[in-house]
Structure 1
Amino acid sequence: MNRAWRTVFIALLTAGVVGSAAWLVFVSPVLGVREVRVVGNLDVSAGQIRQATGVADGKPLATVDAAEIEDRVARIRRIESVRVSRGWPGTLMIEVVERTPVAVLPVGGTFALVDRHGVVIEIKGVVPPALPVLRLDRPGPGDPATAAALAVVGALPEELSSRVAEVHAPSAETVSLRLRDGRSVVWGGSDRAADKARVLVTLLKRPADTYDVSSPDVVTVK
């Protein structure tokens, strides 16, 4: 075989190998999806998440659109975030973070459980005992007072959050708390939350009806 034919033969052979490899990866079910593995879910079933992906068994793993699947799974109300990755040779990994209820919002005669962003997760007929009730004029994800109230709830350490029955927020700068024992806390805005919480823990050891920590450097007790 002369040099010219040898060059042509090698080129054809290389093209064949590349073509076979491309077919194997992008077309053949050999490297297709054989398992959709879901992690991080507690309340949302793995079956519901797998169904939301819309990925058929055997679909070439290389052709799976991760961004599209993330968008589909994120439409499940209980899911806060999702990450999709490939695990060769045939596993599609779905890692989710579920929304966690942090407070309750009265809606007519029912109660909406909301997450830290103000997104409604589910509706209950009674108030879950461990969650504070939000008292707001215009509740919603875009409402500054709602955002401030949720920020305060999220900033409370466990030793305080378990004692809060209601969070009142007529405005973003006038947040107040009603404790389960009936005492009141004037919190103010959502700024300096750590300082306010630290001061309040100490103040609550003193008997009083109202504790004002809106300015944690100058507190008052009544």
Structure 2
Amino acid sequence: MAPTRQRSGSRATRSVRGRRPAAARKRTGNAPARRKALRRRWVAVLSVLTVLGLGYTVGFTELLAVRSIEVSGTDRIEQATVLDLAAIPRLRPMVRADTDGIEQRIAKVPQVERVVVSRTWPSTITIEITERHPVAYFVAHDGIRLVDRAGVPFHEVGKRPKKLPRLKVETVAASDQATGAAMRVLTAIPDKLRKRVTEVSADTGNSVELRLTKGKVVRWGNAAQIERKAQVLGALLSRPGEYYDVSSPELPTVR
């Protein structure tokens, strides 16, 4: 029986030895996949760290900070006033400059019609201002105010401007129909005619009147057909008279 046991043990030994190379081959075959997965993990970690580093650099360091502020478009408004309202700390990170907040603060200045604040990389904040320009004046109970083309009263003056016409309406406001019609007519008529206007008035949006030099009065009506009415009025003014009605330009009258 001893020889039989020896043969069985020999077969078992050969069987065990035969399995070891297969396991080793499996481990060897998985090694490239493990290395590839490990590389992917490191790439992901490095990417996250890079993004965090860039975010910290841009948002919390002076590398991309505000070093200069450029203001353009100011004529009547002092640049110092604009800078004070902007209130941008030097060396504040550019991305943390509140451009919307800056615009809102500067827009509160009555003389400002429009303001745009932008970033000019790497280190400049640009403030572009459009000022209101007076085209008439309004006499209020508490003073004299300049009025822009939109009908917005924006600046108080001590005396009546000699080169601007007076605006006479019940309530001066951009949303007021009478104000809007009067200002549309005044700003759309030819320069030659506008220079002769001493007063523009309206009770409603359909009742605009112009007072010209030498005491002439023009009943204009509404703000429609401005170009046509101006042409008709230009021809009528060559005739003697004190009252000119072009509210219906096809049927003008003079008296």
- TM-score, with structure 2 as normaliser: 0.80
Structure 2 residue aligned with 1:26? 59
Letter in 1 for 2:147: V
Tell me the amino acid that sits aligned with residue 155 of structure 2.
E
Distance 1:85 1:139 in 2: 33
Determine helix, strand or coil for the equivalent of 1:207: coil
Q: Deviations over 1:124-143 (max 9, x none)?
A: 22211111111223444443
- Aligned position for 1:121: 154
Aligned length: 222
The residue correspondences of 1:1-222 to structure 2 (distance < 5 A) are 2-108=35-141, 110-222=143-255
Q: Is the 8 A contact 1:103 1:131 kept in 2?
A: yes
The answer on whether the counterparts of 1:109 and 1:125 sit within 8 Å (CA) in structure 2 is no
2:149–2:183 Cα contact (<8 Å) kept? yes
Q: Quick check: 2:152–2:172 contact (8 Å CA) kept in 1?
A: no
Distance 2:172 2:125 in 1: 39
Q: CA RMSD in A?
A: 1.9
Counterpart AA for 2:245: D
* Alpha-carbon distance in structure 1 between the residues aligned to 2:196 and 2:73: 29
What whole-Å deviation, never above 9, does each CA across 1:101-123 have from its counterpart, x for those lacking one?
11111123732111123222212
SS at 1:114 equivalent: strand
- Which SS does the other structure have where 1:83 is aligned? strand
Higher helix share: 2
**Deviation, structure 1 residue 207:** 2.8
Structure 2: state its 5+ residue gaps.
Answer: 1-33
For CA contacts below 8 A with separation 6 or more, give which structure has more relative contact order. 1
Q: Match for 2:246: what amino acid?
A: V
CA offset digits 1:169-201 (Å, max 9, x no partner) = 122211111102211111011111121122222
Q: CA deviation at 1:3?
A: 4.2
Per the TM alignment, residue 202 of structure 1 is displaced from its structure 2 partner at its CA by 2.6
Q: Could you tell me which amino acid in structure 1 is paired with residue 71 of structure 2?
A: V
- Structure 1 residues 145, 20: closer, same or farther in 2, change over 3 A? same
**C-alpha contact (below 8 Å) 2:200/2:210 kept by paired residues:** yes
Pair member with larger Rg? 2
CA shift for structure 1 position 88: 0.3
Where 1:206 maps in the other structure, the secondary structure is coil
TM-score normalised to structure 1 length: 0.91
Q: Tell me how far apart the structure 2 counterparts of residues 195 and 63 of structure 1 sit (CA, whole Å).
A: 54
Runs (4+) of structure 1 exceeding 4 A deviation are 1-5
Q: What's the offset of the Cα at 1:4? A: 4.8
CA deviation digits over 1:50-104, x for unaligned, max 9? 2111221111112223222211111111101111111000111111111111111
